[in-house]
Structure 1
Amino acid sequence: MIIEQFNDEALAHYSYAIISEGEMALVDPSRNPIQYYKLAEKHNAKIVAVFETHPHADFVSSHLQIHEETAATIYVSKMVGAEYEHQGFDEGVSLQVGTVTFTSLNTPGHSPDSITIVAKEGDKTALFTGDTLFIGNVGRPDLRENAGNMRAKRLELAKDMYATMKTKFTDLPDNTLVYPAHGAGSLCGKNMSTDSSSTLGNERMSNWAFKEQTEEEFVEEILKDQPFIPSYFGFDVDINKDGALHIQKAKYEVPVFLNVDEIEESISIVDTRSGDDFKKSHLVGSINIMATSPKQKFETWLGAIIKPEEPYYLVVSSVEDIDPLLERVAKIGYEKQLKSIITVAENLEGNMPFLDVTAFKKNTSDFTIVDIRNASEVAEGKFFEHAIAIPLNELRDRVTEIPTDKSIVVHCAGGYRSAAGSSIIAKLLDKVEVFDLSDAIKDF
C-alpha cells in the first residue's frame, strides 16, 4: 500500500490517502478535497472510502463533499450519530480496499466516539489514530462537554483514555506505523512531538501514556496544563456531525467589495494585513489578525476571537489574497458568517502609534503592560513582573480590567498575537494610547 500524508501547517493537521490496486481510501480529510483528487488522478485511482476517526473540533472535514463528488462511502463510528449517509465502522467491521484490509478499534478518550483505523497488508500494519494517540502524547479529554451528539465530562473521558491506552493496542506489533491527525502546535492536545509519524514500539518506550501508572496518576497528568479551547471548537464538532457545504460553493457565495473606506460600525472587522500596514491606516474599530504567511495560526485566532455565527468583515491586502483567505476561513467553517471580503482605501481614519522601544526599555514602569499569552505560558514565567495577564482569547470580554491611567503596551511570546491584542484594546479603550511591542519582545 502507498500511504500519502498531507500536512496543513497552520492547524497542525495531518490527513491521509491510502492507495492500493487502483483504489484509494482517505482518513480525516481537510475542508478542500482537491489535493486528494489530484493524487487520485496521478495514480489513476478511484476514491472508494472516507474514514472519519471522530467529529473534529479544530477543522471542518470534506467527507460529505467527497462522498457526493466521488460516490465514496463514509465510514464513521455509529456512536457519532452522523446526519449524513454513512456506514458504521466500529470494532468487528472490516473493509477491503485493493489488497489492504481496514478494521476499526473503538478508542474513546479524546471523544466518546473516537475510533482508530487499522490498515493491514501482508506483514505491514498502520494505525491512523485520529486524536487518540499522538506522537509523544494523547488527545485531550475536555472538548466534548458542550458539543456533539455524545457528550461526556472530561474526567469520564480521561478515564476512558486510560483504558484505551491499557487495552486497545496490546495485540499489535512494535513495528506498527502510527499516523496521528495532529502534530506539534495543535490545540487538540499538549506537548506533541514535531515528528509526523512513529511506530508503536517507539511510543511504548517514550510516550508517557504507555508507561505503567495508576488510573489516578494518568488522569491527573492528562487533565493538567491543557491549552485553551477556542470558541469555534464546539461549532466545528456540530458541522462535522452534519456534514459541511461544498467548499467551492461556500467560498463563492461571499461578496467582495474593493477600495472600501467605511463600514457599518456594529459589525466586527478582521484585518489580515501586516501589523505595520494596519498601524499606518485601517478602518476604525478593526482587529488585526495577521494572515501574511500560510504558517501563521490565523485560523485558530480567528476562531478564538470571533465567536461562532458572529458576523464580521474580512480585510485583505490585495485581490490576489481573496481566494487564499476564503480558503483559510472555510477551513474552520467561518465563511457563512462572513459579511464580505474587502480591500480598503488608502489613508483611512484608523491608525495606531509605533512604539519607541528604546524609550520603553528605559522606563517600563511608565506603561501599563498587558501580557496576552496563554495561562500555561505565563505560569512558566513573566517577561515583566508588573504585567497584567489576560489571554488573547479572553481579551474582548476582560478589557475593562486594564487600567487607563498610563499608555498601554501589549506583548505575547513572539510578536504575532500582540498585533491582535493591541488592536482589540485600542478598539475597546479608545481614550488611551495603545502600543504593540511586536517582535521586540525578543529583546526581553
Structure 2
Amino acid sequence: MKVEQIYTGCLAQGAYYIVSENEAAIIDPLREVKPYLERLEKDNVTLKYIFETHFHADFVSGHLDLSKKTGAPIIYGPTAQPEFEAIIAEDHQIFEIGKVKIKVLHTPGHTMESTTYLLIDEKGTETAIFTGDTLFLGDVGRPDLAQKAGSVTQEDLAGILYESLQTKIMPLDDSITVYPAHGAGSACGKNMQKETVDLLGNQKRTNYALNQPDKASFIREVLDGLTAPPKYFGMNVALNKGGYESLDAVMDKGLTPVAAEDFEAYAEETGALILDTRNPGDFCKGFIPNSINIGLKGDFAPWVGSLIVDVKHPLLLIADEGTEEEAITRLSRVGFDHVLGYLKGGFEAWKSSGKETDEVNRISPEEFTRQFTEHSKVIDVRKISEYAAEHIDNAYNKPLDTISDWVKTIDDQEHFFLHCAGGYRSMIAASILNSHGIRNFTEIEGGFGAIKKTGILPTSDFICQSKVI
C-alpha cells in the first residue's frame, strides 16, 4: 500500500493518491489531472475510484476531467446531489482498492454532504482518515458555508459538526494518521497548523475544537472570530456540483497570443479585465494603465478569487514569457476559465510599441522613515489579526480583501503611505487604487517586515497572532 499526499501550497490544499496491488484511488483531486495520470502510468495501475469529501468552495476539483479520462466513478458521501453521474455512498459503506479498504464516515457540519474516508490496510487495521474540511490540524472546517436562509444557521451547522466529530472521529484510535484537505493559509478555517499530516491522538490533545467541554462551548469557540468567506466560494461550489468546461478547452482558448497593437482594442471590445501576473517589483516600474497586478509568485489564485470574484469575467493576461500556461492553470483551479488570451511578448512588447504606460511610486523602507512625520497617514492592508499583532503607531488598518468597500472612502487630496507585510498585497492594492484614479500615495517596498527592521518608527506592542482571532 502507498499513500501520497499531493500538496499545493498556493491553495494550501492536499489531494491524496492511494495505491494497493494494481488499483488506485484519488481523493479531492485538483483541476489539472495530468500529474495524476502520470502517476497512474508510472505505477502501472488502474484508477478505480475518485473520492470527493464534499463540494469544495475554495477550489475547483478535477473529478470530472479525471473521470472522463480514466473511466473511474466519482464517489460522494450521503446526501450529496451532484448534477452529473456519481456514486452516492451510504454511511459506513466499504470500497475496496486492491487489498485495502475505504470506509465511508458521513461527517456533516462543514457542509451537509461532508464525508471522512477511513483507510483500512491489508491486515484490517484502521490506519488513516482523509478528513476533507471536517477536521484540520489545529482546527475544524468553518460551519458557515452551507447556511440556508430561514432553515439552517451557522450555529445549527456547528452543532451538527460537533456531533460528527464526537461520534465518528473521536472514538477512533489515537494512532490513526490524519490527512486533511487544507493547511495553514486556507480560508476554510481560522487556526490551522503549518503541518499537513498528524496523528489523531495529538489532535485530540492540541486541537482547541476537540477540547471543548460541551456542544455550546464548541459552537461558541468555532464561530468566534470567523471572518466572512471569500465571495467567490459560492461560484466554486456551483462548478463542483454542476460541472465545468474541460481544462483542455480552457487552456486552448487562454493560450492565444494577442499582439500589442491589438491588445487594447481587444480588451475594450470584450470588456476583459487586464490581469498583470508579474512580480510587484517589475509591475511598479511600468504597467498598462488600469491593469490589476496579482503576482504569480504568491497566493495568486485565492487573491484573484477574492478580488475579482466573478469567475465568468473575461480576462486578458500580462505574464513573463513562459509562464502563461501556469497562470491559466492556476486561474482554472478557482474557476476562472474565461482567459481570452495573453499579451504576446509580454509587457516589453507593449513598451516597445510606444503605447502609454504607468508607474507606482514605490520607496524603500529607509526612505519611508525619512519622509514619515507625526502627521503622515499610513494605510496597512494586512489582515486584522496581523495588524492587531503589531503595527505602526496610528496606522489605519484597511485589509486588502475589503478594498472594494474602502476604496470608495479614500480622499485622493490627502497623501498616504501604503504597506502590507512584504510588498505583495500592497502592490495589488496600489494597482486597484490606480484603476480607480487614486494616485496620491506612496507604496513601501518590503512592507511591515522591512519597516520594522529599520528600528526607527514606533510600533504597537507585539501580540502573538495565534491569540488574535
TM-score of the superposed pair, with normalisation by structure 1: 0.92
Amino acid at match of 1:361: T
Once the two structures are aligned, what percentage of the paired residues are identical? 32
Change (3 A) 1:15 1:44: same
**Structure 1 residue 118: deviation in Å?**
0.9
Change (3 A) 1:389 1:198: same
Pick from 370, 382, 398 the counterpart of residue 391 of structure 2. Answer: 382
Change (3 A) 1:27 1:170: same
**Structure 1 residue 193: deviation in Å?**
1.4
- Which residue does the alignment assign to 1:142? 144
SS in 2 for 1:42: helix
Amino acid at match of 2:383: N
- Which residue does the alignment assign to 1:279? 284
Pick from 372, 394, 397 the counterpart of residue 402 of structure 2. Answer: 394
- Which residue does the alignment assign to 1:270? 275
C-alpha distance in structure 2 between counterparts of 1:396 and 1:170, whole Å: 42
**Structure 1 residue 66: deviation in Å?**
1.2
- Which residue does the alignment assign to 1:158? 158
- Which residue does the alignment assign to 2:310? 308
C-alpha distance in structure 1 between counterparts of 2:377 and 2:340, whole Å: 35
- Which residue does the alignment assign to 1:435? 442
- Which residue does the alignment assign to 1:237? 237
**Structure 1 residue 354: deviation in Å?**
2.4
SS in 1 for 2:55: coil
Amino acid at match of 1:438: E
SS in 2 for 1:184: coil
**Structure 1 residue 439: deviation in Å?**
0.8
2:414 matches 1:411: no
SS in 1 for 2:431: helix
Residues 52 and 75 in structure 2, CA contact (< 8 A), matched pair in contact too: yes
Residues 4 and 16 in structure 1, CA contact (< 8 A), matched pair in contact too: yes
Residues 286 and 427 in structure 1, CA contact (< 8 A), matched pair in contact too: yes
Amino acid at match of 1:435: T
Aligned residues: 436
Residues 189 and 227 in structure 1, CA contact (< 8 A), matched pair in contact too: no
Residues 170 and 204 in structure 2, CA contact (< 8 A), matched pair in contact too: no
Residues 227 and 374 in structure 1, CA contact (< 8 A), matched pair in contact too: no
SS in 2 for 1:339: strand
- Once structures 1 and 2 are overlaid, which stretch shifts more, 16-25 or 274-283? 274-283
Amino acid at match of 2:291: S
- Which residue does the alignment assign to 1:19? 19
C-alpha distance in structure 1 between counterparts of 2:91 and 2:144, whole Å: 24
Give unpaired runs (5+ residues) of structure 1: none
- Which residue does the alignment assign to 2:328? 326
C-alpha distance in structure 1 between counterparts of 2:142 and 2:392, whole Å: 28
Change (3 A) 1:312 1:391: farther
C-alpha distance in structure 1 between counterparts of 2:86 and 2:208, whole Å: 35
- Which residue does the alignment assign to 1:317? 319
Q: Deviations over 1:142-199 (max 9, x none)?
A: 222379xxx9421111111111222112442111111111111111112211211111
TM-score of the superposed pair, with normalisation by structure 2: 0.88
Mapping of residues 95-174 of structure 1, within 5 Å: 95-121=95-121, 122=123, 123-145=125-147, 152-174=152-174
Amino acid at match of 2:302: T
2:180 matches 1:175: no
Q: Deviations over 1:266-320 (max 9, x none)?
A: 54322111222212221111111111x2xx1000101111021452434333331
Q: Deviations over 1:207-236 (max 9, x none)?
A: 122224121211111112234422211110
Residues 270 and 312 in structure 1, CA contact (< 8 A), matched pair in contact too: no
Give unpaired runs (5+ residues) of structure 2: 453-469
Residues 381 and 418 in structure 2, CA contact (< 8 A), matched pair in contact too: yes
C-alpha distance in structure 2 between counterparts of 1:357 and 1:183, whole Å: 32
Change (3 A) 1:309 1:214: same
C-alpha distance in structure 2 between counterparts of 1:101 and 1:326, whole Å: 36
**Structure 1 residue 205: deviation in Å?**
1.5
**Structure 1 residue 27: deviation in Å?**
0.4
Pick from 295, 298, 301 the counterpart of residue 299 of structure 1. Answer: 301
C-alpha distance in structure 1 between counterparts of 2:364 and 2:387, whole Å: 25
SS in 1 for 2:162: helix
